[in-house]
Amino acid sequence: MDKKRGAVRVHPSRPVTPVAPPTTRRGAEHHKVDLKGHSESWLRNHIAVCKAALTKLLGTPVATMMTVAVLAIALTLPGFLFTVLSNVQSLTEGWEGETRLSLYLETSLGDEDADRFSRSLLLRDDIAAVDYISRNQGMREFKKYSGFGDVLDALTDNPLPAVVVLLPRSRAVADLGLMRASFEAMPEVNEAVLDLEWLQRLDAMLAVAKRGVFVLGLLLGLAVLLVIGNTIKMSIESRRDEIVVSKLVGATDAWVRRPFLYTGVWYGLLGALCAWLVIQVAWLMLETPAQELTQLYRSQFQLTGLGVSGSSLLLLSSVLLGWLGAWIAVRRHLRDIEPS
Amino acid sequence: MIQFEHVSKRYDEGFDALKDVSFTINTGEMAFLTGHSGAGKSTLLKLVMLMEQPTAGHIQVGEQILNRLGRHDIPYLRRSIGVVFQNHQLLFDRSVFDNVALPLNICGYSPEDAARRVRAALDKVGLLDREKMNPMALSSGEQQRVGIARAIVHKPKVLLADEPTGNLDPQLSAEIMRLFEQFNRVGTTVLIASHDLSLISSMRHRMLTLKSGRLIADG
């Protein structure tokens, strides 16, 4: 205890010692005096300022809540959309490489002929698997999942064609295109549809959506920056006297800046926490219906929320934006406040 | 301790606040700076604090040549100087104790050490029992003493005061001046700007007289 006290006591004499010889800059002279005492008091000041900034924010709960709510909304939107997109993307990734070619057979074709046709396809080298869905089987599944059972019962004829689903060995887009054309030319086939087409379209749409979310995120990030910057600017104005007096009794720019930077960081953190909470709740609400949907597609797909990396990205970027917004505000306005 | 050599200050509007002022105040000396309002007293103190830069001339405080200090050195210069203002510049959002502790917080004293020094300073100006009060609740004489406690709490080598008795009645003014004499007696260099001639002429200290920016009398 004594030792520590001694160290601290030496340090304060620092400012009174003649400041750096004229040719050198600040720095070394001061820090050389007592490095341990200096870093100790520096850390102590940071902790105190960090706490005081939070206390000050909580001291005006309504104003703080308003700002935090605005930040949370601005952060929730891109965060949520980003999560949705990454889920859709992981969904399509599961399908890629398993491109199927669906052959819708002529309805005039009898069940036996259709079955024979599907079997003949099994002999081909370029096809890995063949799945034959007869007209009746198709009808049964359609009834089960569409909910139009009664309407379908009223029909005298089965309007559905038999379908042969092929799994081609080749995954090259050009090969698949040729294959589709050759199948469509066959007399038994009414229409040949490559899954790839809608998958490609979906991919293209996803790319557009991703870019959209990115731009939206950029804009809303800018909004976060401006909101925090403006809030800090007002806070600087309201503490004008304190800044002037502090500068008069020897506060460095860093010392004056510090409380505002911490305020910005707190805003960023609180905003991110609220946004995180909103996203998680929204996700919970989505989970059950989404699971039902994926079950309909007999998919093994698992919905994933923000996750650890998403959450930390949200938190980190928000805190960084808070700090940056405060820094810009402080840089612009603090120099104007000089004792006169 | 404070040295001016041919110092001039012209403001941007073309007004000459100081013209070719030279003087030296030695370490441990106490001096008054007097003259009519607008004679340049405040400007001179501002130059010492580096709240203003001289247009010409050479200023030295202690070992530091002010003309050569950069923006980043200014805070460290100010920590070696205690200042008392006419309007005392106290912060009304915190207690008397916290007002006096501000320079110590800025210099990085530990809370225990700072508390000890704040109480010692408040004791010196006779306000130890007021530490928890808000300065707004104090009389103007007491507020000025809080301002003095804040100026001397970190034991600066130089103490400046700009019209410290401006708003006070003669009896309180004399008390304040006696406080400054006490600090001077323990080695602090003191420079007080005041136009209260009757009070300062009774105190037999060196007197620098400014008129329209020129030093017209020294002694």
ipTM: 0.90
Share the mean pLDDT of chain B: 91
What pLDDT is attached to residue A96?
A: 55
Min Cα–Cα distance to chain A from B72, Å: 7
Burial status of residue B104 (CB atoms within 10 A of its CB: 0-12, 13-18, 19 or more): buried
The DSSP result for A5-64, as a single string, is: HHHHHHGGGGGGSPPS-TTS-STHHHHHH-HHHHHHHHHHHHHHHHHHHHHHHHHSHHHH
Min Cα–Cα distance to chain B from A222, Å: 32
> What is the 3-state secondary structure of A87-132?
HHHHHHHHHCCCCCEEEEECCCCCHHHHHHHHHHHHCCCCEEEEEE
Sign for the CA dihedral angle at B194, B197, B199, B203 comes to positive
| Mean pLDDT score, B115-139 | 93
* pLDDT exceeds cutoff 50 at B149: yes
Mutate: best of A11, A14, A248, partner B, most B CBs <10 A: A248
- pLDDT over 90 at B193, yes or no: yes
Phi first, then psi, for residue A152 (nearest 5°) are: -65, -35
Phi then psi for B109, rounded to 5 degrees? -70, 150
Long-range CB pairs of B24-27, under 8 A, 24+ apart, other chains included: B25/B1, B25/B189, B25/B191, B25/B206, B26/B1, B26/B189, B27/B1, B27/B157, B27/B187, B27/B189
| A100-170 CATH | 3.30.70.3040
Q: How confident is the model at residue B158 (pLDDT cuts 50, 70, 90)?
A: very high
Q: Give B 88-147 residues with CB within 8 A of chain A.
A: 89, 91, 93, 102-113
The residue to which tokens 């301002």 are assigned:
B147
Residue B169: band (very low, low, confident or very high) from pLDDT cuts 50, 70, 90: confident
Q: Hey, what amino acid is at A156?
A: T
In chain B, the residue whose alpha carbon lies closest to the alpha carbon of A16 is B80
Please tell me which residue, B172 or B118, carries the higher pLDDT value.
B118
Q: What's the pTM?
A: 0.74
Residue A226's pLDDT is what?
A: 94
B116: closest CA of chain A, how far (Å): 12
First to last CA, chain A: 43
* Residue A265, Cβ density class (10 Å: 0-12 exposed, 13-18 middle, ≥19 buried): buried
Instruction: For residue A4, give the chain B residue with the closest CA.
Output: B110
Residues belonging to chain A: 340
What's residue A38's pLDDT? Answer: 77
Q: Domains of chain B by range and CATH?
A: 1-80+158-219 (3.40.50.300), 93-155 (no CATH)
Q: Give the confidence band of B197 by pLDDT, cuts at 50, 70, 90.
A: confident
Q: Does A16 contact B78 at a Cβ distance shorter than 8 Å?
A: no
Cβ–Cβ gap A22/B157 under 8 Å: no
Q: Do A245 and B89 touch (CB under 8 A)?
A: yes
Q: What is the pLDDT along chain A (340 residues), one digit of tens a residue?
A: 344 443 444 444 444 444 444 444 444 334 344 566 778 888 888 999 999 999 999 999 999 999 999 999 999 999 999 888 888 877 766 665 567 888 888 888 888 888 888 888 888 888 888 888 888 888 888 877 777 777 777 777 888 888 888 888 876 767 778 888 888 888 888 888 887 777 778 778 888 998 999 999 999 999 999 999 999 999 999 999 999 999 999 999 999 999 999 999 999 999 999 999 999 998 888 888 888 877 776 666 677 778 888 899 999 999 999 999 999 999 988 888 887 7
> Do the chains contact at B68 and A22, CB–CB below 8 Å?
yes
Specify whether the CB–CB gap between B109 and B155 falls below 8 A: no
Measure A2 CA to nearest chain B CA, in Å. Answer: 12
Helix (H, G, I), strand (E, B), or coil: what is residue A211? helix
pLDDT reported for residue A27: 40
Cα A99 off chain centre by? 29
Relative to beta strand B189-193, strand B158-162 is: parallel
Task: At A195, list the tokens.
Answer: 């899954």
Residues of chain A with CATH 3.30.70.3040: 100-170
Identify the residue with better confidence: B150 or B14: B150
Q: Which residues of A touch B64 (CB under 8 A)?
A: 18-19, 22
